[in-house]
Amino acid sequence: MPYTAEHKQQSRLRILESAVRCFLQQGYERTGISEIMQDAGLTHGAFYAHFSSKGELYIEAMTHAAKNGRFTAHLKNGKKGSAWFQGVLEGYLNLDHVEGDESPCPLAFLVTDIATRESDVKQTYTRLYKGMNRYISRQAMDDSKRTKDDIYAVTAMMIGGVAVSRAINDPKLAKRLLHSCKQTAEKILTSD
Amino acid sequence: MPYTAEHKQQSRLRILESAVRCFLQQGYERTGISEIMQDAGLTHGAFYAHFSSKGELYIEAMTHAAKNGRFTAHLKNGKKGSAWFQGVLEGYLNLDHVEGDESPCPLAFLVTDIATRESDVKQTYTRLYKGMNRYISRQAMDDSKRTKDDIYAVTAMMIGGVAVSRAINDPKLAKRLLHSCKQTAEKILTSD
DNA sequence: GTCTATAGAAAGATAGAC
DNA sequence: GTCTATCTTTCTATAGAC
């Protein structure tokens, strides 16, 4: 008695999580449907009972990755003010994040990939990016010294810092530049 | 009398420039050798008289794009000190750059693409990235108030700013965030 | 050096049995 | 819902004529 609604939901979730892993690690084009399905413990024929196309899966996977990703996870760190920023930045601008083992941020891992894609994919990225800014803004704007410019600059630096770290071949430099971004972002968000 | 050494050089250069256009606009995987060759006015069979593989072309194209790209072009703007920074930042963090019509920077347009590739490709990216930092460092380090952290933060923000702008679907937001990055980078590089 | 033609592999998507 | 089998397209790379 498989094939219940619940069974289907479970399969769908497994596919989604495999897709997140593959897409974020290898990018959209290099990831095949067969690979995702195999990783989810199914065969590729079953795919189309859950999603209408690879493109649709990409959108869903991106959303799922953001919801369960590193950025979101560090948002509720129980702290306030500058300690809160420190927690978020520390969790994001981090070599473990760059290595990608544990729920990386799709905004940083897929930037370039997204730019060349159809508008519904870019739409999703835009929404998630706005969300990221909103979360930081919410905390920062209590402080009248912080401007919207500060927020945009910080998120660009976070995404850029992680993306560049991932692209380079020099772990020492990667660590160094992440640290520099963290320090500078902290200064921007907490200076007088 | 084609087929002279000079003729070959010219063909090679045309292929290289087509490759830069295609790779930067569409990414590595979405670009076919046929497409590049057609854009260069040749057929795809001729490709292997110039390059041994698509991967080799990618490396050469990336190097060529950096040498003739927007960042390098704005390095020699004839100015000094804070005016020099302003010129470089203005030329880079710019909507025209994001649209990609005129020799965009491979560091910003290919970040995510590079991360998933073989080590020789990442090696090349690393070298170019270090070059970018060196150029800015050379000007900034005259000023004892500037640290290496400042440089790394600024380059990450430049690359991140352009990459994110390109990924989002909202031109107004793109322009806004580029402006924010420019303002903030300027502040980092010229504040007391 | 460049062309046409093709080999060989991979990928997205569909068909039909269970 | 999931499986196996297959259609179809696309792509890298090679072969051989000029």
The secondary structure of residue B104, as a DSSP letter, is -
B138 beta carbon < 7 A from strand C?
A: no
CB pairs under 8 A between A and B: 169
For residue B111, is pLDDT > 80?
yes
Mean pLDDT in chain B? 96
For residue B141, is pLDDT > 90?
no
Q: What is the CATH number of domain B5-53?
A: 1.10.10.60
For residue A148 the two structure tokens come to 């919207």
Using an 8 Å CB-CB cutoff, list chain B residues near A110.
112, 167
Closest residue to D14 measured CA to C1′: B45
Q: What's the rounded Cα separation, in Å, for the pair A176 and B149?
A: 8
Confidence of residue B3 (pLDDT cuts 50, 70, 90): confident
Give the helix ranges, DSSP H, for chain A: 5-26, 33-39, 54-67, 70-75, 81-92, 95-99, 106-109, 111-115, 119-140, 148-167, 171-190
How buried is A74 (Cβ within 10 angstroms: 0-12 exposed, 13-18 middle, 19+ buried)?
Answer: middle
Q: For residue range B62-77, what is the model confidence (pLDDT) as tens digits?
A: 999 999 999 999 999 9
For residue A3, the model assigns a pLDDT of 81
What are the CA-CA distances from residue B68 to residues A42, B64, B104 (Å)? 48, 6, 9
Give the global pTM.
0.98
Nucleotide in closest CA–C1' contact with B57: D12
Given a cut of 70, the residues of chain A with pLDDT beneath it are: 1-2
CA of A122 vs C1' of D8, distance in Å?
29
For residue B114, is pLDDT > 70?
yes
For residue A143, the model assigns a pLDDT of 80
Q: What's the rounded Cα separation, in Å, for the pair A142 and B85?
A: 32
Q: Which helix (H) or strand (E) holds B24?
A: helix B5-26
For residue B192, the model assigns a pLDDT of 78
Using an 8 Å CB-CB cutoff, list chain B residues near A148.
176, 180
For residue A1, the model assigns a pLDDT of 55
Q: What is the CA radius of gyration of chain B?
A: 18
CA of B182 vs C1' of C4, distance in Å?
52
What fold does the segment set A69-190 form as a domain? Tetracycline Repressor; domain 2 (1.10.357)
The proportion of chain B whose per-residue pLDDT surpasses 70, expressed as a percent, equals 99
Q: Are A190 and A133 in contact (CB under 8 A)?
A: no
Smallest Cα distance from B48 to chain A, Å? 23
For residue B1, is pLDDT > 60?
no
Q: Name the segment(s) of chain B with CATH classification 1.10.357.10.
A: 69-190
For residue B98, is pLDDT > 60?
yes
A186 beta carbon < 7 A from strand C?
A: no
For residue B34, the model assigns a pLDDT of 98
Contact A126 B153 (CB under 8 A): no
Nearest partner of B131 among B61, B54, B69, B57, judged by Cα: B69
Nearest partner of A62 among B104, B125, B112, judged by Cα: B112
Side-chain-side CA neighbours of B36 within 13 Å: the count stands at 34
Q: Name the segment(s) of chain B with CATH classification 1.10.10.60.
A: 5-53
Using an 8 Å CB-CB cutoff, list chain B residues near A177.
152, 156
Q: What's the rounded Cα separation, in Å, for the pair B97 and B166?
A: 9
